[in-house]
Chains A and B, each alone.
Chain A
Amino acid sequence: MHPAQSSDIERAALKNYLLDHAYDEMFSGPGNLHSHCQQLLEHFASLPMEELQRRKQAADLSFLNQGITFAVYGRDEGTEKIFPYDLVPRIITAAEWETVEIGLTQRITALNLFLKDIYNEGRILADGIVPREMVYTCKHYRRQMAGLQVPRNVYVAVCGTDLIRLESGEFVVLEDNLRVPSGVSYMLTNRRVMKRIFPELFRNYNVRPIEQYTQILLGSLRSLAPEGRPEPNIVLLSPGVFNSAYFEHAYLARQMGIELVEGRDLVTHDNIVYMRTTNGLRRVDVIYRRVDDDFIDPLAFRGDSVLGVAGLFNAYRAGNVTLANAFGTGVADDKALYAYVPDIIKYYLSEDPVLNNVETYLPTRPKELQYVLQNLDKLVVKAVGESGGYGMLIGPQSTKAQREEFALKIEADPRNYIAQPTISFSRAPCLIGDELEPRHVDLRPYVLFGDKVTIVPGGLTRVALKQGSLVVNSSQGGGSKDTWVLSQ
């Protein structure tokens, strides 16, 4: 570890800033700033600490007053918390972004083709590129979708892909979120708050705008409307006010000017979906749904769901309503299937992946199982069916008992686990107490797919605010920061 400061002015603010082998978003080496961070650091170092704290409080208060909060499950009290916000923006250069943009476009295109294929002809399965059992044992595979045509063949209209940076600085894909990815409202509100509290800094950087996101999303949804519905009625389906992402649902609906509906607002009759209005029933054409497959129609999926709409799936099958995302997209973001994505890209597009995967071991392959069991202390093990940072073993930080417990679980159900090397992903400066300190960050850009693929230049940078922690999820003490993509 080396202290990072390069000049006197920075020394004061950076006395706890120690570099290690992880890639650093601000320093290329001891005393060497990435050139695009020069101004940022100078600006932060020039402000007195009281002033920074004052701005931080202003930002926190603004989140609280706007009700930008999320609910944490499994707790009785304090159900609403603000998502911790870090003042120091994370900067991505134009060249870095170009690679990300090309890579994500390629990836979503291939995954869409994959979904169309497995729910129709199944060529990739017949050709043995992806094992059949890998698809059919996935709990997000929906046999109800087999043979069903979806508008424009778009299964995934909205995708949030989690990227991390390796020690070399290369962006790699950690996870695809193809079901109901969330967090985009934080991307948008972080920017709004940032512009308000650091206008002078913002003006000096050429940051590409992201505010057009909701308009592009609306356009994508409109382009997916069933045929013969030129003025489609588009709604956002939310599980309701108790869902952890409710703020986001309300925010997006308001920004797009569409109705926010819950399952109880919708009824189906003769395979047509209606919403209950004060003026009687009104037909619904496109549903941007933020409810999981399992809960969306008690007749087709889980019968005990009270969040869904009885008969919705039949209306969907009949082609009278579009759902974005389609049902059954979760099969393509299965953590085990992830290992096959590079092959999937090559199979459909005859191209090499622009963004690589993290090396992944599948215990379903006997050789890899053996390797995983022998190296549990070095690997990160993830349960395939879990998300949000739950059900994970981080080898180097685990106890012997935890490793033994996971070894038993993996042997009992190898399909349900994957293992990856422990990657010390990149770190960015954060204001911790009165000091700038490095913390691990990831990046989730949002990919929209309607008549074409669009990626708004930016994303949600999530921060593991606990020192040394690699878990960025909000439910596990993560925070976020504004992400600036530079235009030059």
Chain B
Amino acid sequence: MLSRVADSLYWMSRYLERAEHTTRLLDVNLNLMLDETAASAERRWQRVLQALSKPKDVAWIGEPYSLTQALTFDTENKASILSCIIAARENARQVREQISTEQWHRLNSLYLQVTRPDTQIERRVEDFAKGTASPGDFLQSVMEAVHQFQGVTDSTMNHGEGWQFIQVGRYIERASATALLLEAYHADLWEHPERIGEGYEYLDWMGLLRSATAFEAYCKVYTADLTPKHIFEFLLLNEEFPHSVRFSIDSVGNALDKIQGDSGKSRAMSLQRLSGRLKASLSYSGVDEVLNQDVVSYLESIQAQCRAIHTNIYELYVDYSIQTALAG
């Protein structure tokens, strides 16, 4: 497969995952906000920003709807949902002949839907505040579209190398995003239980689970008894839940093995070592062990390892020098 194509498929997938994550985070918090006091609003939205890695030029100015506006529709902000969808579609357009017509239709329809000029009117902050328009409908439709895209991708595209690069992109993005989400909640809530208002524990921890679509899946394992330790264990170390860090890293590793097998690389050693080490550390750690160390730096180290894996993939498959390729 062409290196450029792998690059585009990888980023198409990462951008969509990012759009979905941001969408869900906003949807969940806009909903929970209705139940809380104005005083805790600031902390909530600062935490959301933290979990999104503090996008440039977006700040909390005391108004949830204008923050939602900036994170959703502002194309100046490269991390906004709209920007991510545009970027994903642009990447798909560059590899139009590599993806199935069904995939393209689904993604292109999403793009046309979110960039349609007449939807701009439904996006005014005043209307959100007055309740005459709701960002919720928009966010729901984006999530549905992304899920449909994933389904169509799985059922209409060859599960060959290109599909594997799509998996790598999705899961590496998901692993970092979940680690960052845990970090934000850990720093803000877990270390400062006094910040949680009387009677609000349940809502706050449910918010964390729902931000990773994990609420129902968690309850099946631990019942609706929400304890921080179990939540942490579930989102970090659960082997079967598709949004946990461990599941994501396992998926990255599997896809990389397939890619390496397909292209018969012997020089994939350092990449294998990186992803294998992270995978092993998540597979063989217990939650107490993790919680006994500096949790924030542990989570940051997971994100740093994801970045290193990304860099290695690029050096190996995409951005290699001609000299090494000819010599090999």
Contact = CB atoms under 8 A, between A and B. Distances in A.
Nearest to A266: B2
B39 interface: no
Contacts of B3: 265, 276-278
Contacts of A254: 96-98
Contacts of A281: 322, 325-326
A66 B2 CA distance: 23
B168 to A, nearest CB: 11
DSSP class of B's interface residues: helix, strand, loop or mixed? helix
A278 B317 contact: yes
Given A278-B263, A278-B317, A280-B325, A251 B97 contact: yes
B221 interface: no
B6 A269 contact: no
Contacts of B93: 67, 241, 246
Interface in A18-51: none
A253 B97 contact: yes
User: Looking at chain B, what size class is its interface with the partner chain?
Assistant: 20 to 34
Contacts of A64: 112
A255 B28 CA distance: 43
Given A277-B2, A277-B3, A281-B322, A241 B94 contact: yes
Interface string B157-177: 000010000000000000000
Q: Which of B96, B259, B325: most chain A CB closer than 10 A?
A: B96
A67 B108 contact: yes
Q: Which of A250, A259, A264, A276: most chain B CB closer than 10 A?
A: A276
Contacts of B90: 241
B2 A259 contact: yes
B96 A264 contact: no
A120 to B, nearest CB: 35
A65 B2 contact: no
B2 A267 contact: no
Interface string A388-404: 00000000000000000
B96 A265 contact: no
Given A66-B105, A250-B97, A251-B97, A280 B328 contact: yes
Contacts of A277: 1-3, 263
A247 interface: yes
Nearest to B319: A276
Contacts of A65: 105, 108-109, 112
Contacts of B108: 65-67
B101 interface: yes
Contacts of B6: 278
A468 to B, nearest CB: 32
B195 interface: no
A455 interface: no
A335 B97 CA distance: 35
A457 B264 CA distance: 45
Nearest to B326: A269
B112 A276 contact: no
A284 B325 CA distance: 16
A253 B90 CA distance: 18
Contacts of B112: 64-65
B328 A276 contact: no
B104 A276 contact: no
Contacts of A251: 96-97
A163 interface: no
B147 interface: no
Q: Which of A64, A261, A267, A277: most chain B CB closer than 10 A?
A: A277
B318 interface: yes
A83 B90 CA distance: 20
A241 B108 CA distance: 15
Nearest to B317: A278
A241 B4 CA distance: 13
Contacts of B104: 66-67
Interface residues of A, number: 27
A276 B318 CA distance: 8
Contacts of B94: 240-241
Nearest to A258: B97
Nearest to A65: B105
A128 to B, nearest CB: 48
Interface in A106-144: none
Contact of A250 (B96, B320, B325): B96
B277 interface: no
A279 interface: yes
B4 A265 contact: yes
B265 interface: yes
Nearest to A264: B4
A65 B112 CA distance: 8
A247 B2 contact: no
Contacts of B96: 67, 246-247, 250-251, 254
Given A65-B105, A67-B108, A250-B97, A276 B264 contact: no
A333 interface: no
Contacts of B326: 269, 281
A262 interface: yes
A224 interface: no
A275 interface: yes
Nearest to B89: A67
Interface in A231-273: 240-241, 246-247, 250-251, 253-254, 259-262, 264-265, 267, 269
Contacts of A259: 2
A325 to B, nearest CB: 21
Nearest to A282: B2
Contacts of A264: 4
A478 B6 CA distance: 37
A265 B2 contact: yes
The 3 closest A-B pairs by CB, nearest first: A279-B263, A254-B97, A250-B96
Interface of A: 64-67, 240-241, 246-247, 250-251, 253-254, 259-262, 264-265, 267, 269, 275-281
29 contacts: A65-B108, A65-B112, A67-B104, A241-B90, A241-B94, A250-B96, A250-B97, A251-B97, A253-B97, A265-B2, A267-B322, A269-B322, A269-B326, A275-B2, A276-B4, A276-B320, A276-B325, A277-B1, A277-B3, A277-B263, A278-B2, A278-B161, A278-B259, A278-B263, A280-B320, A280-B325, A281-B322, A281-B325, A281-B326
Interface of B: 1-4, 6, 90, 93-94, 96-98, 101, 104-105, 108-109, 112, 161, 259, 262-265, 317-318, 320, 322, 325-326, 328
